[in-house]
Amino acid sequence: MPTIVLEQLTKVFHAARSFGAWLRRPWQRGEPVLALDEVSLTVEAGELLCLMGSNGAGKTTLMKILAGVVLPTSGRALIDGYDVTRASRLLRAHIGFAAADPAGFYDRLTGRQNLAFFASLHGLPGAQARGRIDELLSLLELDMPDQFYQEYSSGTKQRLALARALLHQPSLLLLDEPTRSLDPLQTERVHALLRGRLRRQGVTIVLATHQVWEAEALADRVAVLHHGAIQACGTPHELKGRGTLADAVKQWCSVEGMSA
């Protein structure tokens, strides 16, 4: 059974309205914005799928629907056969999510205290949580765990977000641009973790990225999103045909901002 099944998943947001527009028609909603347009996709257990697309293509919305923090407008998203909108608490125990913006931490707690809090919310008992936190701090080379979060660099914050996503050893990992703020050395270390240890553990990974070379290095398959719709999906080899993957992606998205 595939880990993820998306069936005609559609998400429409409504744009915020000006105060004047709200005064004239307080009952009316803002202009609809189509974020996902009948996306259908499957991801097999243990697979690493890269989502590619320009800004606003719908990658983050798709990730957040899978993480259970955004509800779809129509269609279905199933994880291990369960609908994410109906069994979200059950599923959340098996999902690790690291958002693109490394937010969602308490500025006035240390990195270790932040991780301990979220470990408790994942149900890890004290001693087990402490051991797991030490393991992740070492694995991700987070060497200032007892400083306040607000004192961290953006790269450290991003690695802390990855550590939080891994705390409860999830079987599905949703990573939204996990290397965006990392230097090349740290990026390589995160890639080694994704390619090595997590693959061996059979973790299914969905990773959103703008970096074509990152997708080429990591992905079993790449799905290209544009204006909320899947333009192409296949192995990097299938997608690039006779040219490069960067050219192929640019062709599907006809966008600037993709780095080869």
Partner 1 sequence: MPEWRKLLAFAARDWHLRSSYHLSLLGTVGQMVFTLAMFFFIGRLVDPLRLQGMDAAAGDYFPFVVIGLVAAHYFTAALSGLSGSLRDEQLQGTLEAMLVTPTHSASILIGGLIWELLWATLEAGLYLVLGALLFGQDFSRINVPATMVLLALSVVVFSSLGVLAACGVLLFKEFDPVSWIAGGAMKLLGGVYFPIALLPDGLQSLARALPMAPVLDGLRAAVLSGATLHQVRGACGAAAIFAAILWPSSLACFGWTIRRLKTAGALSFR
Query: Angle CA(176)–CA(179)–CA(180) in degrees, nearest 5?
Result: 80
- The reply on whether position 22 binds partner 1 by CB under 8 A is no
- Nearest approach in angstroms of CB 225 to partner 1 is 16
Single residue of 3, 5, 54, 68 touching partner 1 by CB under 8 A: 68
Nearer to partner 1 among residue 113 and residue 244 (C-beta): 113
| Residue 21 to residues 12, 15, 32, Cα–Cα distance (Å) | 20, 12, 15
How far is residue 60's CA from residue 188's CA, in Å, rounded to a whole number? 23
- The reply on whether position 59 binds partner 1 by CB under 8 A is no
| Residue 10 to residues 45, 52, 59, 152, 241, Cα–Cα distance (Å) | 23, 18, 13, 37, 29
Nearer to partner 1 among residue 174 and residue 249 (C-beta): 174
Six token digits for residue 249: 């992606």
The amino acid present at 256, given as its one-letter code, is E
Interacting span for partner 1 (CB under 8 A) from 20-28, 91-99, 186-194, 236-244: 91-99
- Nearest approach in angstroms of CB 245 to partner 1 is 30
Q: Pattern 163-202, binding to partner 1, x per CB under 8 A?
A: -x--------------------------------------
Q: Taking each helix axis from N to C terminus, what angle separates 126-139 and 154-166, rounded to the nearest 10 degrees?
A: 140
DSSP assignment string, 58-114: SHHHHHHHHHTSS--SEEEEEETTEETTTSHHHHHTTEEEE-SS---S-TTSBHHHH
| Residue 212 to residues 183, 185, 188, Cα–Cα distance (Å) | 17, 18, 15
- Nearest approach in angstroms of CB 246 to partner 1 is 30
- The reply on whether position 206 binds partner 1 by CB under 8 A is no
- The reply on whether position 64 binds partner 1 by CB under 8 A is yes
Interacting span for partner 1 (CB under 8 A) from 90-98, 179-187, 190-198, 228-236: 90-98
Q: Please, which residues have CB within 8 angstroms of residue 146's CB and are 6 or more apart in sequence?
A: 110, 111, 112
Interacting span for partner 1 (CB under 8 A) from 59-67, 74-82, 234-242, 248-256: 59-67
Q: Pattern 94-133, binding to partner 1, x per CB under 8 A?
A: -x-x-x-x-xxxxxxx---x--xxx-xxxxxx--------
The amino acid present at 220, given as its one-letter code, is D
Interface with partner 1 by CB under 8 A: which residues? 13-14, 61, 64, 67-71, 89-90, 92-93, 95, 97, 99, 101, 103-109, 113, 116-118, 120-125, 148, 164
